[in-house]
Structure 1
Amino acid sequence: MNMQIPTGKGAKSAMSIAGKVILYTGAAGGLGMVTTLSFLRAGAKVVALDNNPEKVEDLLAAAARENLKELTVRACDLSDLKSLRAELDAVSAEVGGFDIVINNAAIYPSKNFEDYTIEEFQAVQRVNVDAGIVCVQSALSHMREKGWGRIVNIASVTVYGGWAHLAPYVQSKGALVGLTRAWAREFGAYGVTVNAVSPGAFPTDAEKIHPDPESYTRFVLDHQAVKRRGSPEDIANALTFLISDAAGFITGQTLNVDGGWVMH
């Protein structure tokens, strides 16, 4: 069978995300900023939710240096779910609806399990999971109307074990994997795919909880098949694929971007 590959000036790549509107939580963070800029360079419009003023300023400055103008930033408190929904609905009306949702924002306290209060567990769940639910609820009607949508939940290598003291965080990431499968099953009929990306141990601010950085780096490389640290570009490439038409027959899956730490 001969396959005709479109070529020439009018051809559109299946990996193209040009013109898509992306709602991205934690978009100015360690993995988020590089990915946001990558999306903008590819012609997408990004609505970035992030409440870290310094990181937001860095993101805005980086976008301005490259004359990337399709960036909208909202400093939302993701723990205030009612206000979050109102803000999202207002922004959605401004941009014409969200085509893609990437639930990336997370908090990650670290201490012995018995020292956590139930309120601390609930606070992590609220930001890491419940806010993502609100984002999807705000976006879904637009996706259904268009018959097309992409949702990606950012999970974590910690779900597979190997880390102590992060019980609320691991619980929240496990919940996102479960929601990925439930949403994929339900939303597939609307033309919406739902997947998760599970990053390995990337060098971001989250690593500052480790008292011995050199020892931690050795620990990471010992567990990876690929003997280098991951970069934000590795996540950007995976996300760009999953939110494009090229991944239209992939849903309900968790893609481990971890240098071969976890293998199935």
Structure 2
Amino acid sequence: MTIQNKTILYTGAAGGLGLPATLAFLEAGATVVAIDNDPAKGEALKAAAGERGLDRLVFKALDLSDLAGLRTALEALSAEVGGFDIVINNAAIYPSKPFEEYTIEEHQAVQRINVDAGIVCVQVALPSMRAKGFGRIINIASVTLSGGWANLSPYIQSKGALVGLTRAWAREFGPYGVTVNAISPGAFPTDAEKIHPDPEGYNRHVLDRQAVKRRGEPADIANALIFFASENSGFVTGQTLNVDGGWWMT
């Protein structure tokens, strides 16, 4: 499943699941424009790529909540790298508290980063994809859409929006040779789990609900991303793939 010489725009690329997938893309011969708002994580990503002799990484620390600034920066990056072939909308924030405690401004802030920034990424990338007759857009959803979580309503709302956009974009962009799919990760052991007060209890909770009795690994997500990013997935679009060990079966 070749992605060699493709250029990938990847938000949240230096996070717990993003970093290993970014390295996998680089090892497969792609150029990755990695976007993250944490410069320290960016340095760790660059160091990891350097240790492996992977030199096709472009890292930018950008504030995804600044949509105008994001668009300007991405347009400059697109011109620099010759356009984006693949967009992965992965970056997200996930505040946790009861629904009635959220302000509407907090809901909007989650939507702005988790959804609106992804819209900007696609708007910047799409003209080049259309010109090339090839494109891959991958939105990262979440197992939380299964309905098994409380206190995450803005986050779950945002992930539902991404699934809806996946289907709308797939229908609209298909004639251009652009496919759009979503990956819904299960409960992976990353920093996101730190919101849970009882880590051991949460681990048991996850394994009880999965058909596969092991925790997910970054390679599980990386393998799914590489499939959707490659030419091999060209007849698959508008779909959501659950990579969750059989937690949610649809």
Q: Does residue 57 of structure 1 match 2:43? A: yes
Bigger radius of gyration among the two: 1
Residue 263 of structure 1 aligns to a residue whose secondary structure is: coil
How far is the alpha carbon of 1:55 from its aligned partner? 1.1
* Cα distance in 2 for residues equivalent to 1:75 and 1:54: 10
5 Å-filtered alignment, 1:106-255, equals 106-255=92-241
- TM-score between the two structures when normalised by the length of structure 1: 0.94
- TM-score between the two structures when normalised by the length of structure 2: 1.00
Runs ≥4 residues deviating over 2 A:
none
Residue 115 of structure 2 aligns to a residue whose secondary structure is: helix
CA deviation digits over 1:6-65, x for unaligned, max 9? xxxxxxxxx100000000000000000000000000000000000112211110100010
> Structure 2 counterpart of 1:107, which letter?
I
5 Å-filtered alignment, 1:49-88, equals 49-88=35-74
CA deviation digits over 1:163-200, x for unaligned, max 9? 00000000000000000000000000000000000000
Residue 32 of structure 2 aligns to a residue whose secondary structure is: strand
**1:5 — aligned with what?**
none
* Cα distance in 1 for residues equivalent to 2:76 and 2:40: 25
Q: 5+ residue gaps in structure 2?
A: none
Residue 236 of structure 1 aligns to a residue whose secondary structure is: helix
* Cα distance in 1 for residues equivalent to 2:122 and 2:15: 20
* Cα distance in 2 for residues equivalent to 1:111 and 1:262: 24
> Structure 2 counterpart of 1:109, which letter?
P
From 27, 31, 38, the equivalent of 1:41 is: 27
* Cα distance in 2 for residues equivalent to 1:200 and 1:53: 27
> Structure 1 counterpart of 2:22, which letter?
T
